[in-house]
Structure 1
Amino acid sequence: MQGDVTNSADVARLYERIQRDHQKVDVVFANAGIYEVIPLDAIEDKHFDSTFNVNVKGMVFTVQKHYR
């Protein structure tokens, strides 16, 4: 199943499918990460948002969904 870890609806769909097919998740290994090599003075909002959304937001909400 494909999804985007930064998209809460995709994460919800993943957990709904897991619940339907397997009832529960025993272990969550949240391992997503990206980086861009950009000089400090060239970093813009889009670079920061992209990195933060995958590396932090996606991981936090994926693990959070596991505990709900």
Structure 2
Amino acid sequence: MKSSVDYKKFLLEFLFNGLIGTSLSFFLQYHDWSKALIFGLSFGFLIAVFYTFILPRFKKK
């Protein structure tokens, strides 16, 4: 029985969006790796939750 939640997709979305958020916020806004890393990880987590859990519920309808 397959779970409806794909954790591999969640992890990949988290890492990919976290990397993009961290690098862009470092070069464009903060110029401090600690602030950029905190922003990137939180951005990656929020986007991964949205793409993995929230968006598929709207697509099914």
* TM-score (structure 1 length as normaliser): 0.32
* TM-score (structure 2 length as normaliser): 0.35
Q: Flag the structure with larger Rg.
A: 1
